[in-house]
Chains A and B, each alone.
Chain A
Amino acid sequence: MRPFTYERAADALSAVKAVASTPGAKFLAGGTNLLDLMKLDIERPTHLVDVGRLPLAGIESADGGVRLGGAATNSQVAADATVRALYPVLVQAIVSGGSGQLRNKATVGGNLLQRTRCAYFYDTTKPCNKRQPGSGCGALGGLNRNSAIFGASDHCIATHPSDMAVALAALGASVETLSPDGSSRTLAVQDLHRLPGDTPQIETDLVPGELITAVILPPPPKGGQAYAKVRDRASYAGGLASVAVAGGQVAFGAVAHKAWRAEKTEAALAAGASPAEAVEAELADARANGRNAFKIDVIRRLTVATLAEQGRGA
């Protein structure tokens, strides 16, 4: 097999140092995406540093919000009483993703760092700038029903597949990271992921070895919360489009290279626009790529309906 080495990290800092100092090294947590990609020869790590058993799985109240450990599983987060009370949008988003088995293994950090489900990324006989920079984008001009309508480039029209990240973006959550020099920083979830530009292989602003140790949820915004996801089948399917609403904060899923915080919609809502007007403000930036044009209609209708339902519920 393609050889790689494995170590179980003793603590977070040594894990970070190990990945930073070993070319081609990667963190391993739940492994639900990484191991699949390794079997397909898409991910080719030389060294895996297992952070899944580090004491980073705690879920704690902090400053009116909640701190989710980076190694907490998706199932743990969705079942946590405080999270359920304060962040129903997050719970709804998490349980709409993957399957029960996957959520039992997948972690908070790993969920954010999962890679696109674009079929052209997975089929290694096809060009993909994300998998093989410079080879082209197979999805452009292809069967691209699932591709991005916001922030795509001529190099990549892939979407980020996480449901959880969409709720986190709407909630204004941040990630807390540990860097190889031992320093810690926080950055907003919507700033964690990059747009593809001409380097779609670089998906986040994390530096090599930087580890997501926690997600910080600020106190919930005033107002109702809801997550609505459109998918081909009732369960265990990636979103065609999704909307997370938390008070006046709105994010879209499955429409961009990242969870898409709909700032123009939020601004319009704050200025007193109707939901329909507010979503159009955001959709002015949307661009279809052939077969994904329906996503614009879905986002339009779903956002209006979700905001209306949230308004009734609040």
Chain B
Amino acid sequence: MSSVKDWAAPNPITENRGGLIGKGVDRYEGKLKVTGTAPYAYEVEPPSPPAYGYLVTAPIARGRIARIDAAVAEASPGVHFVWTHHNVPAQASRGSRANPRSQRASNPALVGDRIEYFGQSVAFVVADTFENARAAANLVEVEYAAEPAVVDFAASLDQADQPPGEEDVHIGDFPGAYGSAPVTVDETYVSPVQNHVQMEPVATLAWWDGDKVTVHTSIQMVKGGQHALAETLAIPGDRVHLLTRYIGGGFGGKGQPYDDLILAALGARELGRPVKIAYTRQQMFHGTIHRPAVIMRVRLGAEPDGRLTAFAVEATTHCARNAIFTEHAANFSRNLYAAPNRLTGHRLVKMDLPGAGPMRAPGEAPGMLSLECAMDELAEKLGMDPIELRIRNEPDVDPETGKPFSIRQLVQCLTEGAQRFAWDRRNPKPGQVRDGRWLVGMGMACAIRGNFLLPAKAGVRIDADGTITLRQGMTDIGTGTYTILAQITAETLGVSLDKVKVEIGDSEFPPAPGSGGQFGAATAGSAAYEAGMNLRKALTELAVGDPNSPLYGGPAEYVTFENGLIGIENRTEALAALVARAAPEGVYVEGSISPAADARDYSQHTYGAHFAEVGVDTVTGEVRMRKMFGVFAAGRILNAKTAKSQITGGMIWGVGTALTEGNAVDPRYGSFINQDMAGYLVPSHADIVDLDAIFLDEADDKANPMGIKGVGELGICGAGAAVANAIYNAVGVRLRDYPMTPDKVLAGMIAKGL
């Protein structure tokens, strides 16, 4: 295995002679997307006209199907077939894995009469048109035997348990230190269920050629989808060809396969023609995962000078009874502030709700809504600026593990941000700044999110015309993956961007783990870099060994790749000319990346600081953003434009988290109240008026060969807390229950006599 020390030497990416690394180049696939010509899974042209699938879903939270009769639906116009648990084709049992190396286990659909959550699929209709399928779905007769269900989180906290295999982390003596701390905060914060509401719903188009199925689907992990389908159908993995070329948002919600993937494949096999299915917007809310609600108790004990002596973050959350998932809302706090006596841990309630699962910055996104407000509350008790409080608790080493940081510029983010945002405008006393009917306030919060590198491969070929093609079983969920892979490949090989093609989202390409956990760019990009370096070696050998090349005889160690030329000393040759002459069939090589053996010797994260200015309408309690600014340190930035888009997109999610986004369960039914985008409110353009972010210069040479880190999740971390703190500064109302809608703000104002 490699060592992080291997990554310290200069390389084509860190030298960046072509200047492509960091440049804000336009999206590789941008033109296709804005002209509506990028085919998403449901829109791919199949080899013959498809049939259309539609799901029937359960209206109860728990129980069983007492009777299901599809006769009327089957007789409905255009219907090819209707499947229920009585007649769905055989599938491998849930969770089974014939191939122990499969990344995902079997995930059968419609099996059995049990209902485990509202919105679970109970029947699948396939018809000649979408409309006929949908109309027939309404005709499937189902009777349910409902059973008592645990669906009310707040009323079920007595069932909270330690998550399986986890223990609380105790360091020092928290109870003792907290008990003797001169200044303390003990508050509880609540964040609601949130939904991903990707623009594109999950969708699959499938067809068969002999015993091999081709699926175009919307999924963040190519291999995970391929393996899940193969395991479910009990066929070898290489008989599933999975493609996911364009994805209209994932955010973690498409990290796993759903019934569309399995049923489209089974349906296409049954019919002998392509079948496609997309979830409706309503089905997305219950039929896919959500971020669970979290109740977070934070206890801080500090000396009068602000030094934390006691620190506890405890999170209680929920998941589906048969799909264990823990929203690790306390984990981030283990690496953020120094404090000698610490307690962090999680509790989990198993409920009869749809599956809880990862959503943009799982853990941090809800978790930071608690501690970053509690720090604001502590700062006020101490009479200290909240930025100063953080700086006083800046650790020299990881506060939990004692490991050195790979690089940590949190304080620089805070000070740079304070200066650029003009934090000194803030009146620390709440409720002092009036603008007509509005009270204006400012708040800040820190951001932290882990950085990861996973194993990945990539392939790269150069053809005789000089075209270089990067191929990888990677996905682009709207983040800019296509673009940064093109930049890395072009920079590594010293060619212009227009010479590079990127082909991803295909299970037959060298595998990468996909998009998630903000590990995509570092992981897939490092493999692309390694493939590019291997192609440099192959082309060098080709040139040095070719008597017809001006580079013949070397010395190979002085080779350069610049401006489309391969050169040694003062001799150069065009790459295209070399390949056309010496390898007219082209040259293809692969490269791979793995985590360094000593990567875990360092505490490695991305950091940031959020600054928010809000106005609160003193009449109505409406909160409107006035300004939001962030400073982030996230390693070397590959693309100024797509990175900023990612970071500001995360900040906008933070605004939604603070002000509008959330779902509630109606405990009588076990269903979410908001099932469309008229009810589940994400920020609109008018909500985001003045938003900007910058990145600090940084390279993390412990992260990967390129010194880059992830930016996909960092922007949301802490963003909502900065808004919440700004609301407090504006009106002096401290809300601890997200989102902070006008009803809640107004109640707080009325209680204060405002």
Contact = CB atoms under 8 A, between A and B. Distances in A.
Interface residues of B, number: 41
A122 B746 contact: no
Interface string A226-238: 0000111111111
B676 interface: yes
B742 interface: yes
A240 B743 contact: yes
B236 to A, nearest CB: 39
Interface in B660-679: 660, 664, 666, 668-669, 671, 673-676, 678-679
A41 B138 contact: yes
A138 B667 CA distance: 12
A1 B131 contact: yes
Contacts of B118: 125
A35 interface: no
Contact of A2 (B135, B619, B746): B135
A141 B673 CA distance: 13
A233 B683 contact: yes
B29 interface: no
B197 to A, nearest CB: 14
B664 A232 contact: no
Interface stretch (B316-324, B461-469, B491-499, B684-692): B684-692
B221 to A, nearest CB: 31
**Most central of A2, A238, A291 by chain B CB within 10 Å:** A2
A122 B676 contact: yes
Nearest to B437: A305
Contacts of A41: 138
Interface string A298-311: 10011001000000
Contact of A143 (B621, B660, B673, B681): B673
B620 interface: yes
Given A143-B666, A231-B622, A234-B624, A117 B678 contact: yes
Contacts of B683: 233
A294 to B, nearest CB: 4
Contact of B741 (A232, A301, A302): A232
Contacts of B746: 294, 297-298, 301
Contacts of A233: 659-660, 681, 683-684, 686-687
A239 to B, nearest CB: 11
B129 interface: yes
Contacts of A2: 135, 138
Given A294-B746, A298-B742, A234 B684 contact: yes
A1 B664 contact: no
B515 interface: no
Nearest to A161: B678
A119 B674 contact: yes
Contacts of A305: 437, 619
Nearest to A40: B282
Given A143-B673, A233-B660, A297-B750, A1 B132 contact: yes
Nearest to B669: A126
A291 B741 CA distance: 13
A301 B620 contact: yes
A122 B129 CA distance: 24
A60 interface: no
Counting chain B CB atoms within 10 Å of each CB, which of A1, A235, A237 scores highest?
A1
A298 B620 contact: yes
A141 B660 contact: no
A123 interface: yes
Nearest to B674: A119
A122 B742 CA distance: 24
B742 A240 contact: yes
Interface in B132-171: 132, 134-135, 138
B317 to A, nearest CB: 21
Given A2-B135, A125-B59, A143-B664, A235 B675 contact: no
Chain A facing B: main interface SS: loop
B369 to A, nearest CB: 18
Contact of B673 (A40, A119, A125, A232): A119
B747 interface: yes
B675 A237 contact: no
Interface string B117-138: 0100000000001011011001
Interface in A50-75: none
Contacts of B620: 230, 298, 301-302
B742 A232 contact: yes
A230 B678 CA distance: 16
A145 interface: yes
Interface in A232-269: 232-238, 240
Given A119-B675, A122-B676, A141 B743 contact: no
B675 A123 contact: yes
A294 B621 CA distance: 10
Contacts of A23: none
A190 to B, nearest CB: 24
Contact of A234 (B138, B669, B687, B743): B687
Interface centre among B131, B620, B674, B746 (most CB of A within 10 A): B620
B681 A237 contact: yes
Contacts of B138: 2, 41
Contacts of A182: none
A24 B660 CA distance: 39
Best-buried of B59, B675, B678 by chain A (most CB within 10 Å): B678
Interface in B624-683: 624, 659-660, 664, 666, 668-669, 671, 673-676, 678-679, 681, 683
Nearest to A295: B743
Interface in A114-152: 117, 119, 122-123, 125-126, 138, 141-143, 145
A296 B129 CA distance: 48
Nearest to B745: A294
A142 B671 contact: no
Contacts of A143: 664, 666, 673
A288 to B, nearest CB: 12
A1 B138 CA distance: 10
Contacts of A230: 620-622, 742
A175 B138 CA distance: 37
Given A119-B675, A125-B59, A240-B743, A235 B686 contact: yes
Interface in A264-305: 291, 294, 297-298, 301-302, 305
Contact of A294 (B77, B673, B747): B747
A122 B134 CA distance: 16
B687 A301 contact: no
Contacts of B134: 1, 39
B738 to A, nearest CB: 13
Interface in A188-220: none
B59 A294 contact: no
Contacts of B671: 123, 125-126
Contacts of B135: 1-2
Nearest to A291: B743
A232 B675 contact: no
Contacts of B687: 233-235
A297 to B, nearest CB: 6
A232 B686 contact: no
A237 B676 CA distance: 12
A145 B743 contact: yes
B609 to A, nearest CB: 25
B619 A302 contact: yes
A126 B282 CA distance: 14
9 contacts: A1-B135, A119-B673, A125-B59, A125-B669, A142-B668, A143-B664, A233-B660, A233-B684, A294-B747
> 5 closest Cβ contacts across the A-B interface?
A1-B131, A125-B59, A235-B686, A294-B743, A234-B686
Given A1-B134, A298-B620, 14 more contacts: A119-B675, A123-B675, A125-B669, A138-B666, A142-B666, A142-B668, A233-B681, A233-B687, A234-B686, A235-B684, A236-B684, A237-B681, A240-B742, A305-B437
Interface of B: 59, 77, 118, 129, 131-132, 134-135, 138, 282, 437, 619-622, 624, 659-660, 664, 666, 668-669, 671, 673-676, 678-679, 681, 683-687, 741-743, 746-747, 750
